[in-house]
Amino acid sequence: MKKAIIIGASSGIGRELSRIMARDGFMVGLVARRVRLLNNINNEFPKSTFIKQIDINDSKNAILGVNDLINKMGGVDIFVISAGIGFLNKELQLENEIKTIETNIAGFTAMANVAFRHFTEKKQGHLVVITSIAAIRGARQCPAYNASKAFQSNYIEGLRQNVFHLNLPITITEIRPGFVDTAMAQGDNLFWVASPQEAAKQIYNNILRKNELAYITRRWRLIAWLFRLVPMWIHKRM
C-alpha cells in the first residue's frame, strides 16, 4: 500500500486531496492544527488515515511530530505540503506580513527539510509542494504572500538540483494553482475559480504522472506566461 503525508489536510485543497488519495487506496497521514477537522476525514476513512495535530509555525515540535508520524506509518512514499496563509494587506500591517513569512517560509522550510531527509535516507520518494501563480511576480495587495511563494518555488528548485547530483529517484513536484474557491482566494473580480475538488483531482493526476511543474487549472499556464512578459514600467502601475 502506498503511503502519503499531507501537511495542511484540514481544509481546502489539502482536505480534498486527502480524500481522493484515501479513496484510491493510499494510507494517508493527515496533518494540521485543527484536529477536529482532521477527525472528520478520519471518520470517513477510519482504516486508511492517521492523524497528527501539528502547528508548522512551531518548527521544533513540528519536525518532531512529523518524524513521529513517519515512523508510525512505517515510512512514506509521497509528502505533500499544502499548508499556508495569506492576507490582502495593502496597508502593509506588519503583523500580517510576519505571520505570512513565519508560516509560508519558516514553517514550510521545516516541513520540506523533514521530507527531503526522509527521502534521501530512503533513497526514493516524491515531494509535492503547492505554491501559487503568485510566485511569479510581486503584488502590492499582498507582497509578503507573493514573495513567500517565490521563496518556496526557488527552494524546491534547489532541492531538485540536490536530487539530481545525488542521483536518487526522488521526484519534486511544484503545483501552481490560480484561484481556488478556498479561504485563500480573497478579493473582488476573481476569474477562472476552480472548486477545491476540481483542483485536487488535477493535482492528484499530476502527482501520479510525476510532473515537475503543473498549473491548476491548466489554463493558468497562459497567465503565467503573460505575467513574465509584462515589463516593469507596466507592472508597477498595476
Mean pLDDT of 145-172: 97
Weakest-pLDDT range from 93-97, 148-152, 175-179, 216-220: 216-220
CA distance 11 to 35: 11
- Evaluate whether 126 touches 210 at the Cβ level (below 8 Å): yes
Q: Can you tell me the mean pLDDT for 24-46?
A: 95
CA 75/CA 236 separation, integer angstroms: 47
Higher pLDDT, 182 or 176: 176
**What's residue 189's pLDDT?**
56
Residue 184: its pLDDT value, please?
54
Q: Specify whether the CB–CB gap between 166 and 178 falls below 8 A.
A: no
- How is residue 155 written as a grid cell? 527552494
Q: Please tell me the distance from the alpha carbon of residue 19 to that of residue 107, in angstroms, as a whole number.
A: 24
102 pLDDT above the threshold of 90: yes
Query: Is pLDDT of 183 > 70?
Result: no
* pLDDT (0 to 100) of residue 182: 64
| For residues 100-109, average pLDDT | 97
- The residue segments making up the domain with residue 10 are 3-235
pTM (two decimals): 0.92
The pLDDT assigned to 152 comes to 98
Q: What is d(CA 49, CA 66) in angstroms, rounded to the nearest whole number?
A: 14
Name 12's bridge partners: none
Note the pLDDT tens digit of each residue in 48-88.
999 999 999 999 999 999 999 999 999 999 999 999 998 88
pLDDT for residue 153: 98
Helix (H) or strand (E) holding 78: strand 78-81
Backbone angles phi, psi at 114, to 5 degrees: -60, -45
| Percentage with pLDDT > 70 across the chain | 95
Cα–Cα dist 108/172, whole Å: 15
Number of domains in the chain: 1
Residue type, 82: S
CATH at residue 121: 3.40.50.720
Cell 484561484, residue located? 179
Residue 191's pLDDT is 56
Q: Pseudo-torsion of CA 39, 41, 44, 50, nearest 10°? A: -70
* pLDDT score for 119: 98
Region for 8 from its dihedrals, namely left if φ exceeds 0, alpha if ψ lies in -120 to 50, beta otherwise: left
Whether residue 75 contacts residue 3, with contact meaning beta carbons closer than 8 Å, is answered with yes
Confidence grade of residue 192 (pLDDT, cut at 50, 70, 90): low
